[in-house]
A and B are shown apart, each in its own frame.
Chain A
Amino acid sequence: MNEKNKNGKQNENEEKKPGQDSNELVRRIAEKKYEFGFTTDVHTEIIDKGLNEDVIRLISEKKGEPDWLLQFRLEAYRYWLTQTQPTWGHVHLPEIDYQAISYYADPTAKKGQGNKEQEIDPELMKTFDKLGIPLEERLALSGTAVDAVMDSVSVKTTFKEKLSEKGIIFCSISEAVKNHPDLVQKYLGSVVPPKDNYFAALNSAVFSDGSFVYIPKNTRCPMELSTYFRINARNTGQFERTLIVCDEGSYVSYLEGCTAPMRDENQLHAAIVEIVVMDNAEVKYSTVQNWYPGDSEGRGGVLNLVTKRGDLRGVNSKLSWTQVETGSAITWKYPSCVLRGDNSQAEFYSVAVTNNHQEADTGTKMIHLGKNTRSTIISKGISAGKSQNSYRGLVRVGKHADGARNYSSCDSLLLGSQCGAHTFPYMDIHNNTATVEHEATTSKINEDQLFYCNQRGISTEEAVGLIVNGYAKDVINKLPMEFAVEAQKLLSVSLEGTVG
Chain B
Amino acid sequence: MTSELQYIELYNEASDLIKSKSCPVMNTVRDEAFATFQRLGFPSKKVERYRYTDVDAAFAPNYGISLSPLTVKPSAYIYNIQEAPIDVTPYYHRIADHTDAITALNTALVHDALLVYVPKNTRVEDPIVVDNWLRGTAATMMNRRVLIVMEQGADATLIINDHAADKQRFLTTQVIEVFCHDNARLDLYEIEETTPLCSRFSNVYIQEGRDCNVKHNSITLFNGQTRNLCDVYLQGENSEVTLNGCAIATGSQRIDNNTLIRHEVPNCTSDELYKYVVDDKAVGAFAGKILVEKDAQKTSSHETNANLCASSDARMYTQPMLEIYADDVKCAHGSTVGVMDEAALFYMRQRGIPEAEARTLLKNAFMGQVIDQIKYEPLRQRLAVKVEKRFRGELEKCDDCRLCK
CA distance A116 to B329 in the complex (A): 57
Contact A442 B316 (CB under 8 A): no
Task: Point out the residues of chain A lying under 8 angstroms from B321, CB to CB.
Answer: 422-425
Interface size of B by CB at 8 A reads: 35
Interchain CB contact (< 8 A) of B335 among A397, A415, A438: A438
**Which stretch of B29-37, B88-96, B305-313 is in the interface?**
B305-313
**Taking A421-B322, A424-B319, A427-B316 as contacts, is the C-beta distance between A415 and B327 under 8 angstroms?**
yes
Contact A427 B328 (CB under 8 A): no
CA distance A431 to B311 in the complex (A): 7
Shortest CB-to-CB span from B11 to chain A, Å, is 31
Q: Which residue of A lies closest to B334 (CB)?
A: A439
Contact B316 A433 (CB under 8 A): no
CA distance A440 to B304 in the complex (A): 10
Contact B325 A428 (CB under 8 A): no
Query: Is A33's beta carbon under 8 Å from chain B?
Result: no
Contact A429 B317 (CB under 8 A): yes
Q: Which of B140-196 contact A (CB under 8 A)?
A: none
Contact B329 A425 (CB under 8 A): no
Query: Is B257's beta carbon under 8 Å from chain A?
Result: no
Interchain CB contact (< 8 A) of A437 among B48, B317, B335: B335
Contact A442 B329 (CB under 8 A): yes
Interchain CB contact (< 8 A) of A430 among B310, B315, B335: B315
Contact B332 A417 (CB under 8 A): no
Task: Point out the residues of chain A lying under 8 angstroms from B317, CB to CB.
Answer: 426-429
Query: Is A9's beta carbon under 8 Å from chain B?
Result: no
CA distance A12 to B312 in the complex (A): 64
Task: Point out the residues of chain A lying under 8 angstroms from B313, CB to CB.
Answer: 399
Task: Point out the residues of chain B lying under 8 angstroms from A419, CB to CB.
Answer: 325, 327
CA distance A427 to B317 in the complex (A): 5
**Taking A420-B325, A442-B322 as contacts, is the C-beta distance between A434 and B337 under 8 angstroms?**
yes
Shortest CB-to-CB span from B140 to chain A, Å, is 34
Q: Which residue of B lies closest to A424 (CB)?
A: B321
Query: Is A166's beta carbon under 8 Å from chain B?
Result: no
Interchain CB contact (< 8 A) of A432 among B310, B318, B328, B329: B310
Task: Point out the residues of chain A lying under 8 angstroms from B318, CB to CB.
Answer: 426-427, 429, 438
Contact A444 B319 (CB under 8 A): no
CA distance A249 to B319 in the complex (A): 37
A-contact 0/1 string along B333-371, CB 8 Å cutoff: 111111100000000000000000000000000000000
Task: Point out the residues of chain A lying under 8 angstroms from B338, CB to CB.
Answer: 434-437
**Taking A425-B321, A428-B317, A435-B339 as contacts, is the C-beta distance between A416 and B312 under 8 angstroms?**
no
Query: Is B53's beta carbon under 8 Å from chain A?
Result: no
Task: Point out the residues of chain A lying under 8 angstroms from B337, CB to CB.
Answer: 397, 427, 429, 434-436
Query: Is B136's beta carbon under 8 Å from chain A?
Result: no
Query: Is A443's beta carbon under 8 Å from chain B?
Result: yes
Contact B333 A423 (CB under 8 A): yes
Contact B331 A442 (CB under 8 A): yes
Q: Which residue of B lies closest to A434 (CB)?
A: B337
Query: Is B372's beta carbon under 8 Å from chain A?
Result: no
Contact B311 A432 (CB under 8 A): yes
Contact A417 B327 (CB under 8 A): yes
Q: Which residue of A lies closest to B339 (CB)?
A: A433
Shortest CB-to-CB span from A194 to chain B, Å, is 22
Q: Which residue of A lies closest to B340 (CB)?
A: A432
Shortest CB-to-CB span from A19 to chain B, Å, is 32
Contact B312 A432 (CB under 8 A): yes
Q: Which residue of A lies closest to B306 (CB)?
A: A437
Task: Point out the residues of chain B lying under 8 angstroms from A90, CB to CB.
Answer: 323
Interchain CB contact (< 8 A) of B328 among A424, A438, A444: A444
Contact B324 A421 (CB under 8 A): yes
Q: Which residue of B lies closest to A395 (CB)?
A: B337
Interchain CB contact (< 8 A) of A420 among B309, B320, B324, B334: B324
Query: Is B203's beta carbon under 8 Å from chain A?
Result: no
**Taking A431-B312, A432-B312 as contacts, is the C-beta distance between A426 and B319 under 8 angstroms?**
yes
Q: Which of A432-476 contact B (CB under 8 A)?
A: 432-444
B-contact 0/1 string along A393-405, CB 8 Å cutoff: 0000101000000
CA distance A88 to B51 in the complex (A): 13
Query: Is A343's beta carbon under 8 Å from chain B?
Result: no
Q: Which residue of A lies closest to B319 (CB)?
A: A426
Task: Point out the residues of chain A lying under 8 angstroms from B48, CB to CB.
Answer: 88
Contact B327 A425 (CB under 8 A): no
CA distance A441 to B330 in the complex (A): 8
Shortest CB-to-CB span from B320 to chain A, Å, is 6
Contact A434 B336 (CB under 8 A): no
CA distance A208 to B323 in the complex (A): 37
Task: Point out the residues of chain B lying under 8 angstroms from A412, CB to CB.
Answer: 322, 324
Task: Point out the residues of chain B lying under 8 angstroms from A397, CB to CB.
Answer: 337
What are 25 sample pairs from A and B whose C-beta atoms fall under 8 A apart? A88-B48, A90-B323, A412-B324, A414-B327, A417-B328, A419-B325, A419-B327, A420-B325, A421-B324, A422-B322, A423-B333, A424-B321, A426-B319, A427-B337, A429-B315, A429-B318, A432-B310, A432-B312, A432-B314, A436-B336, A437-B335, A442-B322, A442-B329, A443-B329, A444-B328
Apart from the given pairs A414-B327, A425-B321, A443-B329, 4 other A-B contacts in the complex at a CB distance below 8 Å? A423-B322, A424-B321, A428-B316, A440-B334
